[in-house]
């Protein structure tokens, strides 16, 4: 459906202000929290919130609370979004104001990365102990094994492999397995565990979940275990993970249900406090996966967190059409 003349005017009016156009350009890069936008724009929270309110009313951005934080992202799809995408595409990236915003956003990214790197390095040796405070490992592993199925798998890929927990669990059922992680400390621990488990066809590699550089549809089992809540753009990570799922293969995502334990954000580098089922279902569908199934595992202790396991598959239509 195309925009009416009045709708087009409303969209352009909402975007037709310098700060709001800057906000749209920033959100085109990733979802951002209000306070992060304030830092980049160097504007007060009330002023930025007012701009965001107008953009949301025009249907150009989506607002979603996450614990005590509020995040915004560009609205997916729609003629209004397409119009703004065209405007942004025609905006000179060398504009001094946009360049300055990009530099400030890069500084925010660098600060996040430094904090996360320090945290993971400090806690690598006791990572499983930290996780055990919130979930029952035995229940989660049993549910992941059930979601994966008996195999055998030609190739299993673990994105954000951490200490190698998913590799030691699932790689015995795979002809070949690959674990990617950005933390060298985590990779060192994972290598030791993989060796101790006698897994000879298991490779560990320094790699980024946002850009794995793996071929399209190259793994019949892809796992993202307790990773998304650390990421600035979890939807992009889901898209990249889905890209490497082969026809007839499946993607397994294990993460938390929405919660309000702010100390995980403050003390343990969690960026998102869990994920709602409709949000994850939309990301998986947009990534081309279907047959989504969800398993919920309630906490073993009162102060614990509910773990959800999403399983989605890629159909074999492409394989048949290529045959």
* CA triple 106-111-112, angle to 5 deg: 95
- Across the beta sheet with 174-181, the strand order is 202-206, 174-181, 153-159, 219-225, 245-256, 307-313, 290-297
pLDDT of 20 higher than 70: yes
* CA triple 76-81-87, angle to 5 deg: 140
Return the higher-pLDDT residue of 25 and 110.
25
Average pLDDT value for residue range 127-139: 66
Per-residue pLDDT band for 319 (boundaries 50, 70, 90) equals very low
- Burial category of 7 from C-beta neighbours within 10 Å (exposed 0-12, middle 13-18, buried 19 and up): middle
Average pLDDT value for residue range 173-196: 86
- Phi and psi at 322, nearest 5°, equal -85, -15
Round the average pLDDT of the chain to a whole number and report it: 86
Q: How many CB atoms lie within 10 A of CB 256?
A: 23
pLDDT of 125 higher than 70: no
Residue 322, pLDDT score: 43
pLDDT of 58 higher than 90: no
In angstroms, rounded to a whole number, what is the distance separating the alpha carbons of residues 143 and 140?
5
In angstroms, rounded to a whole number, what is the distance separating the alpha carbons of residues 68 and 35?
11
Average pLDDT value for residue range 270-291: 94
What is the set of domains in the chain, with CATH numbers? Answer: 5-91 (1.10.10.10), 127-322 (3.40.50.150)
In angstroms, rounded to a whole number, what is the distance separating the alpha carbons of residues 199 and 191?
10
Per-residue pLDDT band for 216 (boundaries 50, 70, 90) equals very high
Structure tokens at 271: 């960026």
pLDDT of 135 higher than 80: no
pLDDT of 141 higher than 80: yes
Return the higher-pLDDT residue of 65 and 57.
57
CA atoms within 13 A on the CB side of 16: 7
Residue 302, pLDDT score: 72
What is the residue whose two structure tokens read 């006698």? 198
Do the bridges between strand 69-74 and strand 61-66 make them parallel or antiparallel, or are there none, so unpaired? antiparallel
Q: Give me the DSSP letters along 78-100.
A: SHHHHHHHHHHHTS-TT-HHHHH
Structure tokens at 73: 């992202």
| Percent of the chain at pLDDT exceeding 90 | 48
Q: Which residues of 146-171 are buried (b: 16+ CB within 10 A; e: fewer)?
A: ebbeeeebebbbbbbbbbbbbbbbbb
Q: Report the range of poorest mean pLDDT among 16-30, 78-92, 265-279.
A: 78-92
Residue 320, pLDDT score: 41
What region does 275 belong to: left with phi over 0, alpha with psi -120 to 50, or beta?
A: beta
Per-residue pLDDT band for 119 (boundaries 50, 70, 90) equals low
Average pLDDT value for residue range 138-165: 92
The C-alpha R_g of the chain, in whole angstroms, comes to 21
């Amino acid at each position: 459906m195309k925009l009416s003349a009045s709708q087009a005017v409303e969209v352009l009016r909402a975007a037709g202000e310098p700060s709001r156009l800057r906000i749209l350009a920033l959100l085109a890069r990733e979802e951002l929290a209000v306070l992060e936008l304030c830092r980049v724009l160097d504007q007060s929270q009330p002023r930025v919130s007012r701009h965001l309110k107008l953009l949301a009313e025009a249907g150009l951005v989506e607002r979603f609370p996450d614990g005590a934080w509020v995040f915004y992202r560009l609205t997916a799809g729609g003629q209004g979004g397409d119009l703004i995408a065209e405007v942004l595409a025609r905006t000179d990236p060398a504009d001094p104001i946009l360049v300055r915003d990009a530099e400030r956003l890069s500084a925010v990214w660098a600060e996040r990365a430094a904090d996360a790197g320090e945290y993971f390095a400090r806690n690598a040796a006791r990572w499983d102990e930290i996780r055990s405070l919130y979930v029952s490992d035995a229940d989660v592993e049993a549910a992941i094994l059930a979601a994966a199925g008996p195999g055998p798998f030609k190739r299993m890929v673990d994105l954000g492999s951490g200490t190698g927990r998913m590799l030691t669990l699932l790689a015995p059922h795979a002809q070949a397995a690959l674990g990617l992680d950005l933390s060298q400390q985590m990779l060192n621990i994972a290598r030791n565990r993989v060796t101790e488990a006698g897994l000879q066809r298991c490779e560990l590699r320094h790699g980024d979940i946002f850009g794995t550089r793996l071929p399209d549809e190259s793994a019949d089992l892809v796992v993202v275990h307790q990773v998304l809540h650390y990421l600035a753009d979890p939807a992009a990570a889901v898209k990249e993970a889905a890209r490497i799922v082969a026809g007839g293969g499946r993607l397994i995502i294990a993460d938390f249900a929405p919660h309000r334990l702010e100390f995980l954000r403050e003390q343990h580098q969690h960026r998102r406090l869990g994920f709602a089922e409709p949000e994850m279902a939309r990301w998986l569908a947009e990534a081309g996966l279907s047959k989504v199934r969800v398993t919920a595992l309630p906490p073993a202790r009162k102060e614990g967190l509910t773990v959800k396991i999403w399983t989605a598959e890629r159909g074999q239509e492409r394989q048949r059409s290529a045959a």
